[in-house]
Amino acid sequence: MPYSTKARILLLPFLLLALLPPIWTLARAESIPPPPQLPVKGYVLIDYQSGNMLANLKGDDRMEPASITKLMTAYVIYKSLKSGKINLSDKVTISEKAWKTVGSKMFVKVGSQVSVEDLLMGMVVQSGNDATVALAEHVAGSEETFVKLMNQEAERLGLKSSHFTNAAGLPDPNHYMSGRDIAALTRALIQDYPEHYPRYAVRSFKYNNIEQENRNRLLFTDSSVDGVKTGHTESAGYCLVSSAKRNDTRLIGVVLGATKEKDRFQASQTLLNYGFSFFESRKLHDANSPIATTRIWKGKDSELPLGVAHPLYVTVPKGQAPQVSTTTTVQPKIIAPAQKDQAFGEIVVKLGDQEVSKTPLVALKEVPQSGWFGRLIDSILMFFYYLFH
């Protein structure tokens, strides 16, 4: 029976109430302003825990990184330290090439012996190109060979818009990084080598009776900032990758190509403040905790627990965490052996209908093959199982 005009009027308030949730949801979404306009060529802002991109201007464009290059140099050196190939106490003889390297200096003397520890401080805090080349030669025998290691690590880390021709970041047409790659590298450096990260918060270092302050002025003006690296050449402009932690949230910001030195600091501060003001991170799953359990055939165990290798976070606009959902997909047929951390599926995180991230679902334990009789039985069971499924 059609509604009368009077009935429609009586129902109108209830219809309006029913519409309120989507209206408020839309208002929450619209309350997040667009990323700030900054006086730089490009910038990127990511959340450290989730890796989610929060703001981006030309983030995938190849740009000159200048001394931000030293983050990759450091990554390779830290890897050599972890493997035991070199030690912090090693004495490095300073070559003439290292001593003559142009640009910022630690002021080491040719022929002198300097510890790896001091050279690292000279490279990280003072941005010394001489210290950088000396370390590269100590790790690989020559800077040229060391650069090959840098490019190998870039490929392994999935840095698709990065290529290096020297260890210090001197200008070269074939030496470049993108803002996205710089942010990803910084995240990997903090995550993989946390024991070395505190160097990036050191405000000054003295060597050869010459004390130099860290060029990252944010260390002196924002107590939440604890890194990371400046860069400057005439062609690259003023660059900075910064990282700050407030409460349980850490953000990484990259600004490239500022024309004035003060602009890189103001732009970085604005970018960090924007991220902390309008976004929040939530942990969805712990590392090495089962998210799904699946059948594994021909193994000593019949079940394989799957989870994530690292804690899984998502970063979303503040107030929109309830809209986050996850979907897991598992490989339909898994046959032993299975190695720990081997991928057998993925977990997709969505904010509403928008896909935010994909993360591999990995085996949380090793499952070796069973004996021949067990494999035979499972072959028979598999045949009938997939016949009816």
Active site residue 162: no
Sheet strand arrangement including 237-246: 53-57, 42-47, 249-258, 237-246, 225-233
- Pick the catalytic residue from 70, 105, 229, 298: 70
Contact 138, 111 (CB under 8 A): no
Contacts 24+ apart (CB under 8 A), 116-119: 116/77, 116/81, 116/86, 116/87, 116/88, 116/89, 116/90, 116/92, 117/88, 117/89, 118/207, 119/92
Cα–Cα distances (Å) from 212 to 107, 204, 205, 222, 257, in that order, read: 11, 6, 6, 20, 24
Closest CA to 227 of 206, 248, 244: 244
Contact 66, 231 (CB under 8 A): yes
- Pick the catalytic residue from 104, 127, 242, 357: 127
Active site residue 67: yes
Phi, psi of 262 (to 5 degrees): -65, -30
> Which tokens belong to 8?
């429609």
Active site residue 277: no
Please give the radius of gyration of the chain, using alpha carbons only, rounded to the nearest integer: 26
- C-alpha–C-alpha distance, residues 217 and 220, integer Å: 5
Contact 67, 232 (CB under 8 A): yes
Contact 240, 265 (CB under 8 A): yes
Number of neighbours of residue 294 by Cβ within 10 angstroms: 18
DSSP run (H or E) holding 43 = strand 42-47
Sign of CA dihedral 56, 62, 64, 67: positive
- C-alpha–C-alpha distance, residues 345 and 361, integer Å: 5
Residue type at 239 in one-letter notation: C
Peptide bond into 337 cis (omega under 30): yes
- Pick the catalytic residue from 67, 80, 243, 281: 67
- C-alpha–C-alpha distance, residues 165 and 15, integer Å: 65
Residues serving a catalytic function are 67, 70, 127
